[in-house]
Structure 1
Amino acid sequence: MNPAIPDLAALHALGAAQQPSYPDAAAVDAAVARLRSYPPLVFAGECDRLTDKLAAVTRGEAFLLQGGDCAETFDGVTADNVRNKLRVLLQMAVVLTYAASVPVVKLGRFAGQYAKPRSSDFETRDGVTLPAYRGDAVNGFEFTEAARIPDPQRLVDVYHSSASTLNLVRAFTTGGYADLRQVHAWNTDFVQGSAVGSRYEAVANEIDRALTFMKAIGADPDEFHRVEMHSSHEALVLEYEHAMTRIDSRTDLPYDVSSHFVWIGERTRQLDGAHVELLSKIRNPIGVKLGPTTSADDAIALSEKLNPENTPGRLTFITRMGAGKIRDLLPPLVEKVEAAGLQVAWVSDPMHGNTYEASSGYKTRSLADVTDEVQGFFDVHRSLGTWPGGIHVELTGDDVTECVGGLEDLAEMDLGNRYESVCDPRLNRVQSLELAFLVAEMLRKA
C-alpha cells in the first residue's frame, strides 16, 4: 500500500462513523486479504475519463444523470434487473440530451451500492430488538438474530456481485442494446396507455428522423451505437474501500478500483474523520453529500481537503436539503464556494431530504416534493448565474409502488401493492421518466 494511504487501524483511530461491529477480527482480516488479491473492478484510465466528463459538468458544458437503487441486493444481480435499470437511465438521458442539447454524463448507482448508513443502530419489532439492517454488504435483511450479525464474508460477495453487474452493464452498453436506433425498443412494453410513454415516443420519433438524415449524409458516429456508463456507490465500509484501493501502474497514484466514482455521505463527511481522509488520497472523481446542516465554511473546508489542487471534475457537491429548505439554504452555500474560486460540480439529490412515513408505516416520498426540490435547485442556480449540474436519484426500472404521486396518481394506500425496496423508497419507471421530462423543461430555461 502506498505510504500516502493510512492503514486501516489509523483510519479507524480517526473516528469512523457508520461502521459494522464485526464479532470476529480474524474473519475481517481474512476477507480483506482476499479482496486485496482480486483484480480491479474498474481501471484508473476509466476513472480519469469520468473526471474529464465531470470537468465539463463543472464548466456548465454537460449535465450529470446519476441514478439507481437505494441499496442493491445480491438477489437483484440478474440480467433482467440490470437491464431494466439501465433502460430507464438510457431513456432519461435521451430526454435530457434532446431537451438541453448538452452531453449527459451517465453514472449508475450500481455495482457497489450494497451498504447503507442508518439513523439508528437497532431496530425493534413486536418487542424484539436486533441490530439494524445495514445493507447486504454487512448483514441480512431477515429479522433474525443470525441474519443481523455483521459478516465480513459479505464484502467478498459484494466484489463478486459488483463484477457480475459490471459485466452485464458493459455487455448491454457495447453489444447493441444502447444503440440509439433502439430508442423505440426501450419503450415498447410501456407506451400503451401511458401518457409519459407516449410523450417519450414523440421524442423517439424526432430522434429517428435525425438519425435517418445523418445516415443519408454519410454521418454515423460511434457514439450512436454505444454509451459509456460509469459506476458509483457510497464509500461507506472502510474495509472494502481500503482493500480495493490500488496503485495505478501508469502514474504510481492510488485509485479506489471498486468503482469509477465514490461519494461521502451526509453522516460520514466529518472533516477530520476516516472517510474524508481516505477519499482525499485517491485519484477517482468523488462526491460529498451536503445536507441542511452544512455551512458554507464546511463546504469550503471539504473542498480544500478533498481537492487541494482545485482540479475541475475531481469534486462534486451533491445537495440534499429538502424541498422546503433548498431555496433558503443553498444560495449562501453556492455564493461563498463560487466566490472562493473552487471548482466543483453542483448536483441535486432531491430524494433524501423528502422522506416521510406514511400512515401505513411505509417510508415514502412524494414526486411533487422531489420535483419541487429540483426546481428550487435550478431556481437558485439561475438566480446566481451558476450551472445546475445534475440530478442524483434513487430509482428502479420496475413498476414498484414506493413513492406517491405522478401521472399514475399513486396514493399512500397503493404503497403495499409492490413495495420492494429494502431501505429507502425509489421512483418507479414511469415516475423516473416523468421527472426527466420535468427536468428537461428546467434545462431549457437554465
Structure 2
Amino acid sequence: MLAGLDSWRDKAIKQQPNWPNAAAASKASAQLSALPPLVSPSEVNRLRTRLAAAARGEAFLLQGGDCAETFVDATAEKIRNRVKTVLQMAVILTYGASMPVIKMGRMAGQFAKPRSSDTETRNDVTLPAYRGDIVNSFEFTEEARTPDPKRLLEAYQTASSTLTMIQAFTQGGFADLRQVHTWNHGFRSNPANQRYEQLAREIDRAIKFMIACGADFEEMKRTEFYTSHEALLMDYERPLTRIDPSSGTAFNLSSHFQWIGERTRDIDGAHVEFMANVRNPIGVKLGPTTTADDMLRLIDRLDPDREPGRLTFITRMGASRIREALPPLLEAAKTSDALPLWVTDPMHGNGMTTKNGYKTRRFDDVVDEVKGFFEAHRQVGTFPGGIHIELTGDDVTECLGGTEHIEEATLETRYESLCDPRLNHMQSLELAFLVAAELRER
C-alpha cells in the first residue's frame, strides 16, 4: 500500500511550486508526516455513506467556502460567518426541498491555488505567481513571492485551528435548529435576509409544534459539517495521508473530501494516480471540453469498484455551454454501471474582468448555469446532486448583480478576495432559494 501511495512520483505532475530550497521542502514534509492527522478515517467513511445517498437521489450536497483561504482571515468571526452562511443555505434547501443536505466547507485546507502561469509581471517586473498562502504571499515583492516551505506547517496549524472552531460552532449548540433566527444577526437588511426570516419563523412554529407533541430535539443541537479542498500541493497531501490500522487502507486525512482540478485531471498524471490510491470520497472538476471518453476513463481509474459515494463529478461548464456540454456526459454515465454524484460549480466557468481590472462574475450567469444544470438532469433523467460555490459570510462586493445590484463601479468598495470573486452572504441566500425551488421541481 505504501508503495502504491508513492506511484504518483513516476507520473508527470503539474501546478507545483518551484521551491528554491528542495531540502527545506523535504524537511517540512517530513515534519508534517509526524503530526496528527486533521480528520479521522471514521469521519471520512461517514461522509462517503452520506454522498452515496446523494448519488442515489436521497440527499443533496452543499459545498461552499473561500476561493483561497488565507492565514490572516482564519479568525473566529470570519470562520463563524462562513459556517453560518452554509448553515443558513442548508436550512433553506432542507426546508424548501424536504431533503437532507450534506454540509461541506471549502475550509481548513483550501490554501493552494492553480495558476495559468508560473510568473506574474507588473510594470516590467516579473515575479513568481501567487499560489496561495501555503506557498507564498500575495504582496508583489521578491521576498513575498518566493515559495517558502515553512508555510506548509503554517497551513497545517491554520487548518487545525479552523477545524477546532468549526467543531465548536457545529457541535456546541450554535447549529441548533432552534437558533435559525440568530444566524441572521449581524447581517444588514436585504430582501434575501427578509425572505430567510420568513422561512425561519415557519421553522420555528414547526419546531414548537413538534416539541408540544413530545418530540426530542437533542440531536438538532448539533450538525455534521465536513471539510474539503483541492488536492493540489503534493508536499502537503502526501505527508497527511496515513494507513488506517483497523482496515489497512490509506486515507488522505488533510480533510474529509478532496477534489482534482480541471488543470490536473490528466488520466495519466500524478494527481489522478495519487487519488486513485486513497479511500476518501473524491471529486473531479469537469470543464466544457470534457468528452464522454474522458469521463469514463476517470471512472475506471478512480472508481473501479463502482461504489456510490466514492466519485463526485463537479461540472464547471459556463452558463452559455452547460446545456450543450453536460447532457452527453450524463447520458454516458447513465448507460455505464457507475453511479457518480453530480454537482454543479456555477462559478469557475463564468469569470470575467472589468475595465478597471477586477476579476468578477455576474450573479445572473451563476444563476443561469445552475438552472442549466437542473435542466440537463431533467432532460436525461438523472439526479442533480449538489452545488459547489465560492462564498464568504461577509458583505463583500466581488460578484456583480443580485438584489444589492452590485455594479462595476462599486466592486472596489469591498473587494477582498486574493484570487477569484466570491458570492457574498446575501447572494448566497438568494442562490439557495433558487436551488430549493429547482429541487422541488425535479
Instruction: Tell me the TM-score normalised to structure 2 length.
Output: 0.99
Q: Distance in 2 between matches of 1:214 and 1:27?
A: 59
Q: What's the CA shift string for 1:138-189, capped at 9, x where partnerless? A: 1111100111111111111111000000000000101111001110001123
Moved more, 179-188 or 315-324: 179-188
Q: Distance in 2 between matches of 1:255 and 1:12?
A: 18
Q: Distance in 2 between matches of 1:169 and 1:150?
A: 29
Q: CA deviation at 1:28?
A: 1.0
Q: Distance in 2 between matches of 1:206 and 1:350?
A: 30
Q: Is 1:434 equivalent to 2:422 in the alignment? A: no
Structure-1 residue corresponding to 2:238: 242
Structure-2 residue corresponding to 1:444: 440
SS of 2:169's equivalent? helix
Structure-2 residue corresponding to 1:150: 147
Q: CA deviation at 1:79?
A: 0.3
Q: Is 1:213 equivalent to 2:213 in the alignment? A: no
Tell me which stretches of 4 or more aligned residues in structure 1 moved more than 3 Å: none
Q: 1:58 aligns with which of 55, 58, 61?
A: 55
Q: Which runs of 5+ in 1 are unaligned?
A: none
Moved more, 61-70 or 335-344: 335-344
Structure-2 residue corresponding to 1:184: 181
Q: What's the CA shift string for 1:229-256, capped at 9, x where partnerless? A: 0000000001111111000121010000
Q: How does 1:189-200 map to 2 (within 5 A)?
A: 189-190=186-187, 193-200=189-196
Q: CA deviation at 1:213?
A: 1.1
Q: 1:14 aligns with which of 4, 11, 14?
A: 11
Q: How does 1:306-321 map to 2 (within 5 A)?
A: 306-321=302-317
Q: 2:43 aligns with which of 43, 46, 53?
A: 46
Structure-2 residue corresponding to 1:2: 2
Q: Distance in 2 between matches of 1:4 and 1:68?
A: 32
Structure-2 residue corresponding to 1:340: 336
RMSD: 0.9
Q: Percent identity?
A: 59
Instruction: Tell me the TM-score normalised to structure 1 length.
Output: 0.98
Q: Which residue identity lines up with residue 170 of structure 2 in the other structure?
A: T
SS of 2:81's equivalent? helix
SS of 2:4's equivalent? coil
Q: 2:379 aligns with which of 365, 379, 383?
A: 383
Q: How does 1:210-359 map to 2 (within 5 A)?
A: 210-359=206-355
Q: Which residue identity lines up with residue 236 of structure 2 in the other structure?
A: Y
Q: How does 1:67-216 map to 2 (within 5 A)?
A: 67-190=64-187, 193-216=189-212
Q: 2:368 aligns with which of 369, 372, 392?
A: 372
Q: 2:396 aligns with which of 393, 400, 414?
A: 400
Q: Is 1:28 equivalent to 2:25 in the alignment? A: yes
Q: What's the CA shift string for 1:101-156, capped at 9, x where partnerless? A: 01000010000000000111111111211111000011111100111111111111
Q: May I ask how many residue pairs the two structures share in their alignment? A: 442
SS of 2:5's equivalent? coil
Structure-2 residue corresponding to 1:360: 356
Q: Distance in 2 between matches of 1:200 and 1:343?
A: 34
Q: Which residue identity lines up with residue 2 of structure 2 in the other structure?
A: N
Q: Which residue identity lines up with residue 70 of structure 1 in the other structure?
A: C
Q: Distance in 2 between matches of 1:155 and 1:260?
A: 19
Q: 2:406 aligns with which of 395, 403, 410?
A: 410
Q: Distance in 2 between matches of 1:300 and 1:157?
A: 38
Q: What's the CA shift string for 1:383-430, capped at 9, x where partnerless? A: 111100010000000000000000000001111001100100000001
SS of 2:202's equivalent? helix
SS of 2:290's equivalent? coil
